[in-house]
Amino acid sequence: MTSVEDKKPTNPIKKWGALGVIALLLAIGYWAGIFEHFGLSSFIKHRQDVGAYVDDNFILAGAAFILLYAGLVAISFPGASFLTIASGFFFGGIIGGMFAVIGATIGAVIIFVIARTSFGDFLKDKAGPFVNKMIDGFKKESFQYLLTLRLVPVFPFWALNIVPALLDMKVKPYALATFIGIIPGTFTYAYIGTGMDSIISDVVEKQPGCAEAGTCEINFGSFVTLEILIAIILLAVISILPVIIKKIRGGKPVADEAK
């Protein structure tokens, strides 16, 4: 016989409402062309006006940037990373990079909580033995695993905002691993932003009129050197060393832990 406590009613609006709002905002943003304002062409076109406002209202502009970045990350907008480059241009490599780290972390925590609330329980209810074991393993070393994945940008940022929620990771270690893990990559792109003047000059020269037409293009990934990538990978290896050492020195096999 099933107890009353086992049948806890779930308010569908409370459970799925936030996820629905995110989907709606994304749809409206793409339909209205709002997200086009966060690209290279718009940046080139409006950089002087935005730069003047930042100079006159540095603190207010910084707070607005953090909120904007957090909001874009929270709705899983894939182009939010361009704002990291813009942060270096408008606020400087160090301050801009920190603004981006704070904004990205806040946004990541928001979508993490929404994902866990909306369909985390559904996944656990439908998961088989293999997925349940993966959930248990991720919970034991979740901080190190996520930190490593954050340090090496192999997987999309938005995916790593959601998957840990489905694997039942706790909020505090998730937030800390995210904050620390995105620092190297974020500051790398913020540093690129400090040299945007020369990049813009090159784009304007080779693609005249692209800012007005909204067609400016450049591969910012080409500015990330091999040395930078090697350094980031080494940081990721160092972050996972505690887990490896624990296994070598006497970590019990999974089969023994399950007994």
In a domain, 6, yes or no: no
In a domain, 149, yes or no: yes
> Which residue is listed with tokens 């607005």?
64
Range of the domain at 120: 15-257
In a domain, 231, yes or no: yes
The per-residue DSSP string of 18-57 comes to HHHHHHHHHHHHHHHTGGGGGSHHHHHHHHHHHHHHHHHS
Q: How confident is the model at residue 255 (pLDDT cuts 50, 70, 90)?
A: very low
Q: What does the pLDDT read at residue 105?
A: 96
pLDDT in tens, 146-201: 888 888 767 778 878 888 887 778 899 999 999 998 998 888 888 888 888 877 88
Average pLDDT over residues 67-82: 85
CA-CA distances (angstroms) from residue 89 to 78, 198, 214, 236?
Answer: 20, 11, 20, 27
User: What is the spatial distance between Cα 109 and Cα 99, in angstroms, rounded to a whole number?
Assistant: 16
In a domain, 1, yes or no: no
pLDDT in tens, 27-37: 776 676 666 76
Q: What does the pLDDT read at residue 219?
A: 67
Domain count, the chain: 1
In a domain, 8, yes or no: no
pLDDT above 90 covers a percentage of the chain that reads 23
Q: What does the pLDDT read at residue 138?
A: 66
pLDDT at residue 101 tops 90: yes
User: What is the spatial distance between Cα 127 and Cα 109, in angstroms, rounded to a whole number?
Assistant: 24
In a domain, 71, yes or no: yes
Average pLDDT over residues 215-230: 65
Is the pTM higher than 0.85?
no
Write the Ramachandran bin of 250: left for phi over 0, alpha for psi from -120 to 50, otherwise beta: left
In a domain, 146, yes or no: yes
pLDDT at residue 38 tops 80: no
